[in-house]
């Protein structure tokens, strides 16, 4: 089972749709049960065969095998701290990009550990943290009638978790998981997101990435 922590926002709901459409069992987590249940109902309306439920974040993390973090960076550290007792040995996929929007510019906020995913690994030492989906727009994920067309670079220190995340990504039509090495590379993914958002503004389109040559 895959839990989306903060799964009521565009990124979490978009991933829930795509995971559910690929046949995965999904739990949408929230700080408020009614929001989680409503988001799960929305996913089921769009993917009628979806196996999806809503629950409080902590319960979702406790019951799931794979935990996906989809909260804004402001809530990242606090949410991770609340999950500490429920993640031992589990794979935690961190999608969080620490962005700042200032005077029309989009920048990555410096994180002491190097990146949001490295912060997650430091705070959850018993979990196997990977960074993934940072460069994929929620609106593309939400357009369930359109196939995706993107690579998803995965960074993580645990090789088995990195490979398992790439395999999960490959189950979603139109996506390809790409091995991005250890967590020390995750800050590159954050910077790419800032660049893509700038391109989206200039071209008035939703951009994503494809790596050629492999």
Ligand X SMILES: NC(=O)c1ccc[n+]([C@@H]2O[C@H](COP(=O)([O-])OP(=O)(O)OC[C@H]3O[C@@H](n4cnc5c(N)ncnc54)[C@H](OP(=O)(O)O)[C@@H]3O)[C@@H](O)[C@H]2O)c1
Nearer to ligand X, 79 or 148 (CB): 79
Q: How far is the CB of 170 from ligand X (least distance, A)?
A: 19
Q: How far apart are CA 6 and CA 20, in angstroms?
A: 17
In this complex, which beta carbon is closest to ligand X, that of residue 51 or of residue 73? Answer: 73
Residues that bind ligand X (CB under 6 A): 6, 8-12, 30-32, 35, 70-75, 78-79, 95-97, 133-134, 136-138
**Token pair listed for 30:** 């929230």
Q: In whole angstroms, give the CA distance from residue 199 to residue 189.
A: 15
Least Å distance, CB 138 to ligand X, is 3
Q: 3-state DSSP call for residue 131?
A: strand
Q: Smallest gap, in angstroms, from Cβ of residue 76 to ligand X?
A: 7
Say how far apart CA 8 and CA 14 lie, in whole Å: 9
d(C-alpha 121, C-alpha 35), whole Å? 28
The residue (of 44 and 89) whose beta carbon lies closer to ligand X is 44
Pick the closer one to ligand X by CB: 160 or 210. 210
User: Which residues share a beta bridge with 5?
Assistant: 69
CB of 122 to ligand X, least distance (A): 17
* DSSP category for residue 109: P
């Amino acid at each position: 089972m895959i839990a989306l922590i903060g799964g009521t926002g565009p990124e979490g709901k978009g991933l829930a749709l795509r995971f559910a459409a690929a046949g995965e069992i999904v739990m949408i987590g929230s700080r408020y049960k009614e929001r989680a249940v409503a988001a799960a109902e929305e996913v089921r309306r769009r993917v009628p065969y979806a196996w999806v439920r809503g629950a409080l974040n902590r319960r979702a993390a406790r019951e799931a095998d794979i935990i996906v973090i989809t909260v804004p960076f402001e809530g990242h550290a606090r949410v991770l701290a609340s999950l500490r007792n429920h993640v031992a040995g589990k794979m935690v996929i961190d999608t969080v990009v620490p962005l700042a929007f200032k005077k029309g510019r989009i920048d990555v906020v410096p994180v002491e550990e190097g990146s949001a995913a490295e912060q997650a690994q430091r705070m959850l030492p018993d979990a196997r943290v990977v960074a993934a989906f940072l460069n994929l727009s929620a609106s593309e994920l939400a357009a369930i009638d359109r196939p995706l067309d993107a690579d998803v670079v995965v960074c993580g220190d645990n090789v088995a978790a990195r490979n398992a995340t790439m395999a999960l990504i490959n189950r979603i039509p139109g996506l390809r998981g790409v091995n991005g090495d250890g967590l020390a590379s995750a800050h590159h993914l954050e910077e790419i997101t800032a660049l893509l958002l700038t391109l989206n503004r200039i071209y008035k389109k939703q951009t994503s990435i494809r790596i050629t040559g492999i």
